[in-house]
Amino acid sequence: MALPTVAIVGRPNVGKSTIFNRIAGERISIVEDTPGVTRDRIYAIGEWLNKKFSLIDTGGIEMSDQPFMAQIKAQAEIAMDEADVILHVVDGEGGVTDADEYVAQILYKTDKPVILVVNKVDNPERRLDIYDFYSLGLGEPYPVSAVHGIGTGDVLDAIVENLPVDDEEENPDIIKFSLIGRPNVGKSSLINAILGEERVIASPIAGTTRDAIDTHFVDPEGQEYLMIDTAGMRKSGKVYESTEKYSVMRAMRAIDRSDIVLMVLNAEEGIREYDKRIAGFAHEAGKGVIIVVNKWDTLEKDNKTLQNFEADIRDQFQYLSYAPIIFVSAKTKQRLNKLPDMIKDVSAAQNMRIPSAVLNDVIMDAVAINPTPTDKGRRLKIFYATQVAVKPPTFVIFVNEEELLHFSYERFLENQIRKAFVFEGTPIRIIARKRK
Ligand code: GDP
Ligand code: GDP
C-alpha cells in the first residue's frame, strides 16, 4: 500500500527536472491551479503500465549552506534512503565528468537498483557517445532526450521492472490517516496522546522498503486505524532533514498514502506558507482533511479568540471550507477525546454513496431554485446525475454541453449537494459529461 518510490539524482543541469516533468505527466495539471503547490515541484506520482509510483527530484532539495559536492552527496543519500529505484542522470553531450563519477561512487554503496540515464541524446548520431558511460560501472546506459521525449519509454519499462512487488492486501475497513504539520507543532505529542487516550493496542509496522514506521491500532469499538509515518517524526539528524523541501516532499508522500489528513497548526504561531502548500496538496489529492489547532493552552483567551482564529483559517484556506476545525492541547488533553470520532465521521463521509434517485431529486430542486446558466444563447441542460466513486465522492452530471457548466454553477451544485448530505471533511468532485 505504500507507493514504491523512484528518485532522480545527478549533478546539476543534466536534465533531472525535465525528466521528472516528463515522467510525472498529466498529474501536474490537476495540481497546478492551487497556488504554491507546484512551485518548484520535486514530488509527483508517476504511472506506467498501470503501476503507480512516487517520484522525487532530489535536485530540487537544495542545501544552500552546503558546498557543491556536499549537496550532490546529500541528494544521492536522500535517494538511497527514500527510494526503491534510483535514476542516475548524466549529460550525453559532455561525456563523463568528475561529478558524475562522484555520484556513481556514492551509489555503489546501495543495493537498490540504479538505472543510468544518458540525457540530451537528441539525435541518433549521438547514440554512439553513450558507450563512454559504461565506465561509471552502473551497467547499461539508457539514451534519452527528455525534451523530445525520446527513449523515456524504455526508462519507464526499466523502472517498472525494478519496482518491488507489492503483495500487501488493501484492507478497505482500515482508516488510514496522518498528522501533517511543520516541525514542533506537536505532531508527536498528539500521536502519543491519541494512542494514550484510546487505551489501544498499538503495534508499529516497519515499512517494507524504508525505515518508515506506521502504527496500527484498534479503538474500543473495534475500528482499525493505520497512522502513517510523517515528515518530522523521524529525527535522525541528517543534514537534509532540516530543509523545507525535504519536509514538504515527505509530507506529500504521507498524504498520498492517507485517506484523511490531520493538518496540525500551532496556535501560538498561526498559519504559515508551508501549511497552505500542504493543505492545498491534500485538497487536490482528494483526501479528507481535519484542521487541528494544537497548543490551544498557550493562548490568553477571551470570548472572541476562538471565532477570530477560525475566521482566519477560513479566510486563508478557502478551498477547505468543508474541513472541520478542532482546537486542542496535547499538553492538557483539552478536546482530544473528540478527535477519534471526528476521524470516523470524515471517513464515513468520504465513503458515502448517494443513491441516484435521491441525488437527482437534489439536483432538480437545485435547478428549480437557480436556473441553469446560458452562454451565447445556449442554455445548460442537466439530464441526469450519478455518483461514480467514493474517496473522494465523485459525481458525474450528464449535460448537453460540458462547457456550459461554468465554475460558478458547479460551485452552486456542490453547495446544494453539501446542504442535502453530510460530506463534512471531504472534498467532492463534479464532472460534467456530454450525454451521447
Ligand atoms: P537539472 O538541473 O538536472 O534538473 O536540469 P534541467 O532539467 O533543469 O535541465 C538543464 C538544461 O538542459 C535545461 O536548459 C534543459 O532545457 C536542458 N535539457 C534537458 N533535457 C534535455 C534534452 O533532452 N536535450 C537537450 N538538448 N537539452 C535538454
Ligand atoms: P512535532 O515536531 O510536531 O512532532 O512536535 P512535538 O510533539 O515534538 O512537540 C514540540 C514541542 O511542543 C514539545 O516541546 C512539546 O512538549 C510541545 N507541545 C506539544 N503539544 C503541546 C501543547 O498542546 N501545548 C504546549 N504548551 N506545548 C506542546
24 or 30, higher pLDDT = 24
**Cα(291)–Cα(297) distance, rounded to whole angstroms?**
17
pLDDT at 64: 78
Mean pLDDT of 6-12: 96
What is the distance between the alpha carbons of residues 39 and 8, in angstroms, rounded to a whole number? 18
The answer to whether 324 and 317 are in contact (CB under 8 A) is no
Burial of 273 (0-12, 13-18, 19+ CB in 10 A): exposed
Ligand 1 centroid to Cα of residue 306, in Å, is: 50
Q: Give the DSSP H/E element, type plus range, for residue 379.
A: strand 378-379
For every residue of 254-272, DSSP letters joined together read HHHH-SEEEEEEETTTB--
pLDDT tens digit sequence for 343-352: 999 999 999 9
The per-residue pLDDT for 205 is 52
Residue 129: φ, ψ to 5°: -65, -15
pLDDT digits over 102-118, tens only? 999 999 999 999 999 99
Distance 15 CA to ligand 1 centre (A): 4
Note the pLDDT tens digit of each residue in 250-274: 899 899 999 999 999 999 999 998 8
- CA of 144 from ligand 1 middle (Å) equals 11
pLDDT over 90 (residue 77): yes
Q: Name the CA radius of gyration of the chain, rounded.
A: 24
Strand partners, 88: 9, 116
Confidence of residue 98 (pLDDT cuts 50, 70, 90): very high
ipTM above threshold 0.85: yes
Average pLDDT over residues 375-387: 94
Cis peptide, bond prior to residue 143, ω within 30 of zero: no
Ligand of minimum distance to the alpha carbon of 230:
2
pLDDT at 13 over 80: yes
Q: Closest Cα to atom 10, ligand 2: which residue?
A: 184
* Residues at CB less than 6 angstroms from ligand 2: 181, 183-189, 232-233, 294-295, 297-298, 329-331
For ligand 2, atom 15, which residue shows the shortest CA distance? 186
1 — pLDDT class (breaks 50, 70, 90)? low
pLDDT for 197: 59
Å from CA of 253 to ligand 1 middle: 26
Question: Is there an atom of ligand 1 within 6 Å of 373 CB?
Answer: no
Q: Are 346 and 312 within 8 A, CB to CB?
A: no
Average pLDDT of the residues in 407-422: 96
Pocket of ligand 1 contains residue 21 by CB under 6 Å: no
> Which of 188, 189, 292, 294, when mutated, tests ligand 2's pocket best, judged by the most ligand atoms within 8 Å of its CB?
189
Higher pLDDT, 97 or 167: 97
Nearest ligand to the CA of 22 is 1
The set of cell numbers assigned to 269 is 504561531
**Cα of 59 from ligand 1 centre, angstroms:** 12
Q: Tell me which ligand sits closest to the C-alpha of residue 92.
A: 1
How far is 217 from 174, CA to CA, in rounded Å?
9
Percent of the chain with pLDDT over 90: 66
Q: Three-state SS for 191?
A: helix
Q: Ligand 2 mean position to 278 CA, how many Å?
A: 20
Query: To test the ligand 1 pocket, which listed residue (89, 147, 148) has its Cβ within 8 A of the most ligand atoms?
Result: 147
Rounded Cα distance, 72 and 10, in Å: 7
Indicate if ligand 1 lies below 6 Å from the C-beta of 120. yes
- pLDDT at residue 213, rounded to an integer: 66
Separation of CA 13 and ligand 1 centre (Å): 6
Q: Is the pLDDT of residue 29 over 60?
A: no
pLDDT band at 20 (very low <50, low <70, confident <90, very high): very high
Q: Which of 102, 107, 96 is nearest to 135 (CA)?
A: 96
Ligand 1 nearest atom to the CA of residue 20, by list position: 7
pLDDT of residue 286: 95
Q: Which ligand is nearest to the CA of 126?
A: 1
Centre of ligand 2 from the C-alpha of residue 295, in Å: 7
Q: Which ligand is nearest to the CA of 90?
A: 1
Q: Does residue 93 line the site of ligand 1, with CB under 6 A?
A: no
Binding residues for GTP are 10-17, 57-61, 119-122, 181-188, 229-233, 294-297
All domains of the chain in start order, with CATH = 5-162 (3.40.50.300), 175-350 (3.40.50.300), 356-434 (3.30.300.20)
Of the pLDDT bands very low, low, confident and very high (cuts 50, 70, 90), residue 3 is confident
* Pocket lining: 12 vs ligand 1, CB cutoff 6 Å: yes
- Section 321-330 average pLDDT: 96
327 contacts 296 by C-beta, under 8 angstroms: yes
pLDDT one-digit tens code per residue, 187-217: 888 988 887 755 445 455 544 334 456 788 8
Tell me what the pLDDT averaged over the chain comes to. Answer: 88
pLDDT tens per residue, range 156-189 = 999 999 998 876 667 788 999 999 998 889 988 8
Sheet holding 394-399, edge to edge: 382-389, 394-399, 429-434
Cα distance between residue 190 and residue 26, in whole Å: 36
How far apart (Å, rounded) are the C-alpha atoms in residues 285 and 256? 7
Q: How many residues are there in the chain? A: 436
Residue with cell 451521447: 436
pLDDT digits (tens, 9 = 90+) for 228-242: 866 445 556 777 887
* Cα separations in angstroms, 69 against 72, 99, 170: 5, 8, 42
Would you say 83 and 5 are in contact if contact means Cβ atoms under 8 Å apart? yes
CA of 94 to the centre of ligand 2 (A): 51
